[in-house]
Structure 1
Amino acid sequence: MSTMPRFGAGIWHFATYVDRYATEGYGDPVGFTEQIDLAGSVGDLSVVDLNWPFPGFDGSLDDVRAALARNGLEAVAITPEIYNKAFVRGSITNPDPGVRRHALEVLHEATGVARDLGCDYVKLWFGQDGWDYPFQVDYSRLWSQALDGLGELCGAHPDMRFVIEYKPREPRVKIVFPSAARTLLGIERIGLPNLGVLLDFGHSLYGQETPADAAQLCIDHGRLFAIDVNDNMRGWDDDMVVGSVHLVETLEFFHTLRRNGWEGVWQLDQFPFREDSVEAARAGVRAMKAIHRALDTLDEEALAEAQSRHDALAAQRLVQRALLTAMAGDL
């Protein structure tokens, strides 16, 4: 049995959610340090990804360190909020140069917090950077602004890694970094070694990619720095529990990571709107542990032989045998 990976979660997994229908929320408010305590109660998490600014929190960085320490957790990343009301027309591509400067100030500040907490990376999700209508933007100018802003940020902090979390849409109808391929094009154009990709499994599904193929593409370019894992129905970014819909594709995704010797954190990005957040996290980790066991027993030689013939049925039989056997012990 190979060594289990480290498991993590976005701290928002343990928050209370709202949408445009239940605007009052799906539960009682959960404070920031209480979210950390809930993450600690899962039992299998080693790290968490933290929003910046810390939501609804007026304590000190030492208070956050204390909350992490008492739960046996570390901060793996900081995700700066460059997608809220201040940036509804974009962050580093906003038409207002003052807003673009403000976005970079937030990003520089978040990088300092990440450095202070010993994080592995700063996660950049440009959810408001894009367009909604034909003729709304000058595509060349928007792309240049995105690359210029990223180049300035990453160039100013060569000791810190940055990751772009791509997504096809939402909240903008079209997001400037919508796919693995376009994101890699931008990263290669910038040309800095500390900028890579965070591949969100659900975003890849939602974008009609094959997540394993997208992961291989990013690995081949040396740019797969981090992953987030969840599931959806492929028509929206539902952020469901890992393996609840696309279990075989999830196994294929992690098989690609193992085959390439990728050793990062297996991190949850789930939104349990109506489910207990701790139990949802445990369910996601349980699925990932089963996948890890399945990868240990998968007959790689037979799989390689089946793949050499493009034999889908032979490959599926091998995968089903490994996966169903691995999961049986947890059911």
Structure 2
Amino acid sequence: MSKLTFGAGIWHFATYVDRYATDGYGPAKSLIEMIDLAGKVRDLSVVDINAPWSADVSVDEVEVALKRNNLSVIGITPEIYNREFSKGAFTNPDAGIRRRANEVCNDAANLVRRFGASYVKLWPGQDGWDYPFQVDHKQLWRHSIEGIGELASQNPDLKFVIEYKPREPRVHMSYGSMARTLLGIEAMGVPNVGVLLDFGHALFGGESPADSAQLAIDHGRLFGMDVNDNLRAWDDDMVAGTVHPIELFEFFYTLRKNNWEGVWQLDQFPFREDCVEAADMAIDFLKHIDASLDRLDWDALAAAQNRQDAMGAQKIARQALFGF
């Protein structure tokens, strides 16, 4: 049995819609059906759940479904990125909508307490701007900082994580990089806000995920992480390890080097693939990465890095991961 804890966003088991297949890539699924699908994945033990969900599903029913599938909740992700917040959640020009975003997030905080989860995950996807001259950048950034800072101060017993992303749905998102997110968190001046590092978002933003992880760890702010993959031009949310296995290996090498412990969480969107198979495939590769870290010649790698010996370091990493 793996010593690791594997998780997934419950949306991994949803039915997806895009601007072409507006009727979706399959029949709609209820939250309970998604939880039951998650329960079919080998080694999956925790899920991140969006809220609010459909009013015809009670919290008690969700708890029963989780228990039936031997699952627990790692986080609650408030939906502050839908049509209601199309001009922003924390950065909306309407103060009433900003207050509404605060209410939705506080409701999510109460669910975190109810489920005994680890954090409220904030993905303010509509916070940002699209066109030159559209916003007052100083005011927008102030709203970004104050909105989350206020929320964290209202709930000092909980952790809040910001999942940054360069763009989509906004052309420029307020929290668009690791460095910018860390700057914002430091300006908040609260201890209970950190970063959820999405491997694919770092790739998409032109970052090295390993470097971004190290930066967050050095600032004591890496509270969580998601893994997936993409072709760097977009947030494709493909199966982890299918495109950038060596960079995924370096990412987890960095986490282990720093003794970072947390859930190895999937954030994948299998539009056309079987969702259970996609999760199993990703977790199998993550387990292989963990075993490869056990095989890695750490001393030889450190010596190669001290020389900045790129080919030597590659040979050591490849031997551990691929066996040649």
Match of 1:21 in 2: 20
**Conserved 8 A contact 1:4-1:289:** no
**Conserved 8 A contact 1:294-1:325:** no
**Matching residue within 198, 201, 207 for 1:200:** 198
Match of 1:293 in 2: 291
Cα distance in 2, alignment partners of residues 57 and 292 from structure 1: 40
Deviations 1:22-42 (A, max 9, x none): 000011111110100100100
**Conserved 8 A contact 1:14-1:277:** yes
SS in 1 for 2:228: coil
CA RMSD of aligned residues (A): 1.1
Match of 2:9 in 1: 10
Match of 1:255 in 2: 253
Cα distance in 2, alignment partners of residues 237 and 166 from structure 1: 12
Deviations 1:66-89 (A, max 9, x none): 000010000000000000000000
* Residue 23 of structure 2 is aligned to residue 34 of structure 1: no
Please report the TM-score for the alignment, with normalisation by the length of structure 1.
0.96
**Conserved 8 A contact 2:2-2:287:** no
> What amino acid maps onto 2:167 in structure 1?
R
Residue 325 of structure 1, CA deviation: 3.3
Deviations 1:78-115 (A, max 9, x none): 00000000000000110011111111110111111111
TM superposition outliers: structure 1 runs of 4+ over 6 Å: none
Unaligned regions of 5+ residues in structure 2, if any? Answer: none
Aligned pairs for 1:45-194 (under 5 A) are 45-54=44-53, 56=54, 58-194=56-192
Match of 1:329 in 2: none
Deviations 1:107-159 (A, max 9, x none): 11111111111110000001000000000000000111111111110001011
**Conserved 8 A contact 1:5-1:263:** no
Residue 209 of structure 1, CA deviation: 0.2
Please report the TM-score for the alignment, with normalisation by the length of structure 2.
0.99
SS in 1 for 2:40: helix
Deviations 1:233-274 (A, max 9, x none): 000000000000000000000000000000100000000000
Q: How many residues align?
A: 324
Q: Percent identity?
A: 61
Residue 280 of structure 1, CA deviation: 0.3
Cα distance in 2, alignment partners of residues 264 and 235 from structure 1: 28
Residue 4 of structure 1, CA deviation: 2.6
Unaligned regions of 5+ residues in structure 1, if any? Answer: 327-331
